[in-house]
Amino acid sequence: MPELPEAETIVRGLRATIPGRTIARAEVVKPDILREPKRHFTPKVRGRTVSAITRRAKNVVLELDDSSVIWVNLGMTGRLLPFAEPPRGRARPTHPAVRFRFSDGGVLIFDDVRRFGTVEHLDEAARGERSAAMGPEPLSDTWLPEHLIEALGRTRSPARSWLLDQRRVAGVGNIYAAEALFLAGIDPRTPVSSINEARGRALHGAIRDILQGAIEAGGTTIRDYRNAEGEMGEYGRKLYVYGRDGDPCHRCQSSIERVVFSNRSAFLCPTCQPSA
């Protein structure tokens, strides 16, 4: 599932072509993608100009000129693909769910093979409520090591599970939680309340380093993810542990292990990430 780096990469790609365009109409091909009836959604976005493209956690946000937004969660296979003119032939996306047709002839298509993604319109108040329910943005200058250390001491949740909780830190998913915990030398099963200050500071730095590195590489493509230009992310070549069970650790050559808890796989190096 796309995480913060993948959403951020898509946002940066869309910023080059979408802001300033006016939505002439929205064509909902797959109504189950919407969080509200089609008859309610389409009038709200028709005639609105996209003023900016931003991100919150793993979500792509199209800001409109009336202070409302189109909030897009990519799910597992969602893609936002811009075209200067309606695509034809092989260029046409194979699983379009929503088409935003612009007044200048361009089109933005939300394409989703498995249709786990969502598209919804939120007014200014609803957007604020949605954002407030999420944790801090880990790449924000205002998110300091002290904030993470304080939050860790409030629960005995396993470290990996804690990082996946979007109320704790926004945008981190299974891939980058595994990678950050490796860099910080923390077993993913470690209760977060037992993480001392030194390890907490290491984890804070690791989260930021991993996310920034993944953004610079255009995200991680495991199977389906593509950026706004339809290209794969390159960070998969740099992964330390995620999906590498049985392979040697890049640091110590120990075999990477896969463990399952909370019904999800976690990956670790037993030498570099000793159990607490």
Q: pLDDT tens, 109-128?
A: 999 999 999 999 999 999 99
167 a catalytic residue = no
| Same domain (yes/no): 207, 93 | no
Please confirm, yes or no, whether 3 is among the known catalytic residues.
yes
| Whether residue 203 is found in the same domain as residue 256 | yes
Give me the pLDDT at residue 91, please: 84
52 and 159 belong to one structural domain = no
Can you give the pLDDT at residue 234?
61
Q: Which of 21, 48, 58, 101 is catalytic?
A: 58
> Residues 35, 120: contact at Cβ < 8 Å?
yes
Low-confidence ranges of the chain (pLDDT < 70): 221-234, 276
50 in a domain, yes or no?
Answer: yes
Domain boundary among 100, 132, 164: 132
Question: Which is it for the CA torsion 161, 163, 167, 173, positive or negative?
Answer: negative
* Single residue among 78, 104, 132 that ends a domain in this structure: 132
CA distance 67 to 106: 23
Torsion of CA 244, 249, 254, 255, to 10 degrees: 10
CATH, residue 48: 3.20.190.10
Residues 120 and 154 in one domain: no
Let me know if residue 274 belongs to a domain.
Answer: no
Is the domain of 165 the same as that of 105? no
Q: Do residue 187 and residue 210 come from a single domain?
A: yes
Contact of 70 with 33, CB cutoff 8 Å: no
Vertex 250: Cα angle to 246 and 252 (nearest 5) = 90
Range of the domain at 194: 145-268
Do 104 and 157 belong together in one domain? no
Residue 91 lies in a domain: yes
Residues 202 and 86 grouped into a single domain: no
Query: Do the Cβ atoms of 235 and 219 come closer than 8 Å?
Result: yes
Helix (H, G, I), strand (E, B) or coil at 230: coil
The size of the chain, in residues, is 276
Q: Classify residue 137: in a domain, yes or no.
A: no
Domain end, chosen from 132, 158, 184, is at 132
The active-site residue out of 3, 63, 120, 137 is 3
pTM over 0.85: yes
Same domain, 21 and 113: yes
Catalytic residue among 150, 248, 264, 274: 264
Catalytic residue among 2, 5, 138, 158: 2
Annotated active-site residue 270? The verdict is: no
| 273 inside domain | no
Q: In the prediction, which pLDDT does 182 show?
A: 98
The answer to whether residue 139 is domain-embedded is: no
Total domain count for the chain? 2
pLDDT score, position 219: 77
* pLDDT reported for residue 275: 86
- Does residue 68 share a domain with residue 167? no
Residue 276 within any structural domain of the chain: no
Strand ranges for 90-197 from DSSP E: 96-102, 107-112, 118-122
- Residue 81 in any domain: the answer is yes
pLDDT of residue 242: 94
Does 231 participate in catalysis according to the annotation?
Answer: no
45: nearest Cα among 132, 105, 123: 123
